[in-house]
Structure 1
Amino acid sequence: MQRCLGHKTQNANESLHNSIWSKCNKSQCHCHDRVKLSMLSGIAEFNFGPTALSHVENEVYEIALGPSTNRLRSACSRKRLEKSKDAAKGKEKARKAKRTEAVNRREADTRRDYGDTGYGAGQY
């Protein structure tokens, strides 16, 4: 719930449910243990990132993981943190505004060059 204070997700419940059900599909029948593992790993990943899954798998279910799995999860965590930091700095917002401005500029150029001959309500 701490993640929601900074408005980092629009709906925390949907994000949590997505991380749980991505590990255990609702359209198929699964045993109790599979659903429980999906729930624990989904909650751990949602709260602490992909590296928390290693702890759940090692400590709770005694699943041995290789070094490449740990490297991949660490890379995912780093990428997630970088994306979060960029969003916090407003870079993403500025990037989006720049893209929107470019689209609007192209549309204005097209209207200037060809007139208002596009599709629209009441034009024909």
Structure 2
Amino acid sequence: MEFKKRPDGGYFPPVLPNGEFYGIALGGDFQQLLFTVNEDGLYAAGLHYLWSDITGISLTPNDGFRINSDKYRSGGLAFHPGMSFLKTADGERIARMNGYGVDYCLMNRITFESNGGELK
């Protein structure tokens, strides 16, 4: 996938910025902080995935998103799409970016980072 730099400094397709990612984990019932996104990777309670630890992204049989990694026995992180938001460092809650849900923007970020991208 090719990411194009926009005049406002963002990318298209939109790439999720750093912040706290909230959603509903697969098998869960309520929205909660799932992990923090930063320049190094994804950090959850007691777990951390560097961008280089992530082997891919996929859809699960239960219509969830899975962030795949062989780093832990769980095989990665899974959550329901369409029920997520990102809380930025200044407290702003973002559910959509340029018409895309933040979960798709997270998938774009993973692809962007795996292609050696840099976010400023």
Structure of greater relative contact order (alpha carbons < 8 Å, 6+ residues apart) = 2
TM over 0.5: same fold? no
TM normalised by structure 2 equals 0.25
Structure in which a larger fraction of residues adopt strand: 2
TM normalised by structure 1 equals 0.24
